[in-house]
Structure 1
Amino acid sequence: MGTRAVVARPTPQGFTGRIFLNDGAPSTAVCVLRGFVLNVQEGDVEAAARVLIDDHPGGWIDVPDPDHRGRCLCHDAPPFNGPASTELTTEQSASEAEYVYVLHPERLVVLVPGGDGWEETGSTPWWSD
């Protein structure tokens, strides 16, 4: 299994999202998520969040790209250890994740576990100047 991660949207308390299994390392996930927002959702960050978080409550194995519809745990892939959880992942419940990718309107923020919660380790704008 790949690096466990979460794709999320910001909330006043932190974030809510879904698991993202393959591959959740920043070297891959940042490009995949930017590609999904910019190329599949034509720059509409909220539409991307709806698809990745709201429309597929089991989470993701592969995020869609222009050539591939992606595989989610709720519709396309058999669960690994019983039924896929449909609970939203939050900063309190993301203990197994190594990274969290938060889809802000202007940028993608990468969080890692640290201290008493999650710390920003980097971010990238959706669009370059």
Structure 2
Amino acid sequence: MSIRSIIARPTPDGYAGRYVHSHGHPSQRVPILLTSVQGHFAGNTEAAARYYLDEHPAGWSRLGAAFTTPLGPVALGPDSNQCYCHGTWDDGPNLLTQDDVDPLWHEWIYLMRADGLQIIRTDWRKCTQADWASHLLPWTTHPTAPLPATLR
């Protein structure tokens, strides 16, 4: 079963982002996001957010660490990025905000902040989003560093 997530950026009212269908658990998502920001985007979190959120407005089937392979619905390798807006899918924009999050469909939220990657674990048993578990990892965190216990 896919672990679904949202990758987002902060907004004045909360956050806004895109759906990612597969591999949403922190053990898979955190190394990819840290590696992409530290490597491909050379520490520029805004450039990374533009790529993930603005240049691919329909969202993602999966995220990978390979930025040299073409995008689209056909898997070109285990590290390829697959978006819903390029190739034969050609889906329209799908913006998700804090008002759209459903813990049954979006198990994790990855908030790309200037000071780090905020990882939020959604929980349908909690009454409000303020009660959901959250952890901030600095962008300088090594991609293979052990995750905090709350994220395992």
TM superposition score normalised by structure 1: 0.84
- Measured in 1, the distance between the counterparts of 2:66 and 2:40 equals 6
Aligned residues: 125
| C-alpha contact (below 8 Å) 2:59/2:94 kept by paired residues | no
**Residue 126 of structure 1 corresponds to which residue in structure 2?**
139
TM superposition score normalised by structure 2: 0.73
**Residue 26 of structure 1 corresponds to which residue in structure 2?**
26
Structure 1: any 5+ residue segments left out of the alignment? Answer: none
Distance 1:25 1:68, change over 3 A: farther
- Equivalence map 1:1-129=2 (5 Å): 1-66=1-66, 69=69, 70-76=81-87, 78=89, 84=91, 86-95=93-102, 96-113=105-122, 114-117=126-129, 119-128=132-141
Q: Secondary structure at the match of 2:85?
A: coil
C-alpha displacement at 1:11, in angstroms? 1.0
- The structure in which a higher percent of residues are strand is 1
Across the aligned residues of Structure 1 and Structure 2, the Cα RMSD in angstroms comes to 2.2
C-alpha displacement at 1:64, in angstroms? 4.3
Q: Secondary structure at the match of 1:42?
A: coil
